[in-house]
Amino acid sequence: MPRPIAWRSLCAVASALVLGCSAMLIPTAAQQPRAAGKAAPSAAAYQPSSAAAHPVDSAALPDGAPFAVSGAGTWHVVSGGSGTTAGTGPQLLTYTVEVEDGIQPAAGDASFAAAVDAILADPRGWTGLGKVSLRRLGDPGAEPDFRVSLTSPGTSRRPDLCGYTIPYDTSCNLTKRGRVVVNLARWVRGAHSYDGDLPDYRRYAVNHEVGHALGHGHVACPADGAPAPVMMQQTFGLSNTYLAQLNRSEPGAASSVQPDGKVCRAHAWVTSAS
């Protein structure tokens, strides 16, 4: 009877092999496929150069409220404006307030325009020097001397706008286009230099970029502990040494800031009065 026994053994071995192969081919819950990489951030979760990623980097965007990543790349003029002139300076300049299409509900347009108007009319700003006076135009077809435009960070980074050579979100002025680009990310989050004081940072941002529109360039901190000049790059920091090093990353950048170790304190206004 040895032959039948051998046959049964061979069948048992074959069955074991079939069952083993079948087990290898059946996926289990623990072996579900996983997507590689990180999920693309949504507008609500967008946090470029976040403070968490750069805990000691003063130029990083602080944590805070959500904002739109990008808009349509076009702007609309916010209607309104009293038509009154701020200041008594002999040089009258006109401006419009604009908001990029698609970045916020229309109800937010009025609050941005009101903030810009209040900042530019304040005697601690550029009109307080007695050289210029400013008037807002609310007509969409107006041709102002410059446009103050709230702009998404995605649009702001375009090479034909603020660019992104220095990899931090910032506002800028486009002299040839007569456009002051106010970066929405900074308008919502501010800067570490202002230690959470968002209203004061907004005053600084508008005064700084309009200063460029008036022909002023960047300046350095004059002395340790002094109020920072409004044309200092306070969005990025208050240290001359840090700002000098940061500007070296931008090809062809001509900076008057020297790495001399001086550190100022945040100051939002053109005049020394606070």
pLDDT, one tens digit per residue, over 68-96 is 999 999 999 999 876 789 999 999 999 99
Amino acid type, 246: L
Cα→Cα distances 68→7, 15, 74, 193, Å: 74, 61, 14, 23
In contact, 135 and 94? CB cutoff 8 Å: yes
The pLDDT tens digits for 17-29 are: 333 433 333 333 3
Architecture of the domain delimited by 75-217? 3-Layer(aba) Sandwich (3.40)
pTM for this entry = 0.79
Q: 237-246 — which CB contacts under 8 Å span 24+ positions? A: 237/58, 237/59, 237/192, 237/193, 238/58, 238/193, 238/263, 238/264, 238/265, 238/266, 239/58, 239/263, 242/58, 242/59, 246/59, 246/166
State the average pLDDT over residues 132-144: 93
**pLDDT the model gives residue 251:** 59
**pLDDT the model gives residue 274:** 58
In contact, 192 and 62? CB cutoff 8 Å: yes
Cα→Cα distances 33→24, 25, 27, 28, Å: 16, 15, 10, 11
Q: Which of 241, 189, 233 is nearest to 209 (CA)?
A: 233
Percentage of the residues of the chain whose pLDDT score is greater than 90: 69
DSSP 226: P
**pLDDT the model gives residue 2:** 43
DSSP labels, 55-75? TT-TTSBPP-S---S---S-E
State the average pLDDT over residues 134-162: 95
Q: Which of 239, 181, 175, 227 is nearest to 205 (CA)?
A: 181
**pLDDT the model gives residue 84:** 84
The tokens for 7 are: 């046959």
State the average pLDDT over residues 182-186: 97
Higher pLDDT pick, 25 / 261: 261
